[in-house]
Amino acid sequence: MRSRYTAFALQDAVHLLRTWHPTTRPESLDFEPDFEWRRLLVLDRVAGGPFDRDGVVEFEAFWRQGTDRGSLHERSRFVREDRHWYYVDGDVH
Protein backbone atom coordinates (compact mmCIF):
# COMPACT_ATOMS: atom_id res chain seq x y z
CA MET A 1 0.00 0.00 0.00
CA ARG A 2 2.70 2.47 0.95
CA SER A 3 4.69 1.80 -2.21
CA ARG A 4 1.59 2.42 -4.33
CA TYR A 5 0.88 5.68 -2.51
CA THR A 6 4.47 6.78 -3.14
CA ALA A 7 4.13 5.77 -6.79
CA PHE A 8 1.00 7.92 -7.12
CA ALA A 9 2.82 10.83 -5.44
CA LEU A 10 5.78 10.43 -7.83
CA GLN A 11 3.52 9.70 -10.83
CA ASP A 12 5.29 6.37 -11.33
CA ALA A 13 2.86 4.63 -13.69
CA VAL A 14 5.25 1.71 -14.28
CA HIS A 15 5.18 0.68 -10.61
CA LEU A 16 1.44 1.21 -10.30
CA LEU A 17 0.63 -0.92 -13.33
CA ARG A 18 3.13 -3.60 -12.26
CA THR A 19 1.47 -3.89 -8.82
CA TRP A 20 -2.12 -3.85 -10.18
CA HIS A 21 -3.78 -7.23 -10.63
CA PRO A 22 -4.14 -8.06 -14.35
CA THR A 23 -7.89 -8.73 -13.99
CA THR A 24 -8.59 -5.11 -12.97
CA ARG A 25 -5.53 -3.21 -14.26
CA PRO A 26 -6.20 -0.34 -16.68
CA GLU A 27 -4.22 -0.17 -19.91
CA SER A 28 -2.65 3.15 -18.94
CA LEU A 29 -2.74 5.86 -16.29
CA ASP A 30 -3.02 9.61 -16.69
CA PHE A 31 -1.81 12.02 -14.03
CA GLU A 32 -2.83 15.62 -13.53
CA PRO A 33 0.38 17.67 -13.45
CA ASP A 34 -0.66 20.00 -10.60
CA PHE A 35 -2.18 17.28 -8.39
CA GLU A 36 -0.11 16.53 -5.26
CA TRP A 37 -0.54 13.67 -2.84
CA ARG A 38 0.49 15.05 0.57
CA ARG A 39 0.02 12.39 3.26
CA LEU A 40 -1.12 8.80 3.80
CA LEU A 41 -2.86 7.45 6.88
CA VAL A 42 -3.36 3.68 7.12
CA LEU A 43 -6.55 3.28 9.15
CA ASP A 44 -7.01 -0.49 9.21
CA ARG A 45 -5.52 -3.71 7.89
CA VAL A 46 -7.13 -7.13 7.69
CA ALA A 47 -4.84 -10.08 6.97
CA GLY A 48 -2.11 -9.35 4.42
CA GLY A 49 0.58 -11.03 6.48
CA PRO A 50 3.39 -13.29 5.26
CA PHE A 51 1.18 -16.41 5.23
CA ASP A 52 -1.97 -14.81 3.81
CA ARG A 53 -3.17 -14.92 0.21
CA ASP A 54 -5.28 -11.79 0.43
CA GLY A 55 -5.60 -8.68 2.51
CA VAL A 56 -7.48 -5.44 2.93
CA VAL A 57 -6.06 -2.01 3.70
CA GLU A 58 -8.22 0.95 4.64
CA PHE A 59 -6.53 4.31 4.19
CA GLU A 60 -7.07 8.01 3.81
CA ALA A 61 -4.76 9.89 1.44
CA PHE A 62 -4.69 13.67 1.47
CA TRP A 63 -4.17 15.74 -1.66
CA ARG A 64 -3.77 19.30 -2.87
CA GLN A 65 -4.46 20.76 -6.30
CA GLY A 66 -3.83 24.47 -6.52
CA THR A 67 -5.85 26.01 -3.70
CA ASP A 68 -8.13 22.96 -3.37
CA ARG A 69 -7.51 20.32 -0.73
CA GLY A 70 -9.22 17.04 0.02
CA SER A 71 -8.77 13.38 0.74
CA LEU A 72 -9.47 9.95 -0.68
CA HIS A 73 -10.78 7.37 1.81
CA GLU A 74 -10.68 3.85 0.40
CA ARG A 75 -10.81 0.25 1.55
CA SER A 76 -8.50 -1.57 -0.88
CA ARG A 77 -8.34 -5.27 -1.62
CA PHE A 78 -5.05 -7.03 -2.41
CA VAL A 79 -4.11 -10.59 -3.39
CA ARG A 80 -0.76 -12.33 -3.26
CA GLU A 81 0.31 -14.49 -6.19
CA ASP A 82 3.78 -15.93 -6.70
CA ARG A 83 5.04 -14.09 -3.60
CA HIS A 84 3.95 -10.67 -4.95
CA TRP A 85 1.10 -8.49 -3.71
CA TYR A 86 -1.30 -6.97 -6.26
CA TYR A 87 -3.96 -4.31 -5.86
CA VAL A 88 -7.33 -5.68 -7.02
CA ASP A 89 -9.90 -2.98 -6.32
CA GLY A 90 -11.25 -0.69 -3.64
CA ASP A 91 -14.39 0.80 -2.18
CA VAL A 92 -14.25 4.58 -1.87
CA HIS A 93 -15.98 6.00 1.21
Query: Could you tell me the mean pLDDT of each successive run of 10 residues in the chain, 93 residues long?
Result: 95 97 97 95 96 97 97 98 96 96
Q: Rounded to two decimals, what is the model's pTM?
A: 0.93
Measured distance CA(73)–CA(26) in Å, rounded: 21
Task: Break the chain into its structural domains and give their ranges.
Answer: 2-92
Backbone angles phi, psi at 13, to 5 degrees: -65, -35
**The pLDDT of residue 33:** 84
**The pLDDT of residue 76:** 98
Please, are residues 61 and 71 in contact by the beta-carbon 8 Å criterion?
yes
Please, are residues 51 and 83 in contact by the beta-carbon 8 Å criterion?
no
Is CATH 3.30.70.141 correct for 2-92? Answer: no
Measured distance CA(12)–CA(36) in Å, rounded: 13
> Residue 77 pairs with which residues in a beta bridge?
56, 89
**The pLDDT of residue 16:** 98
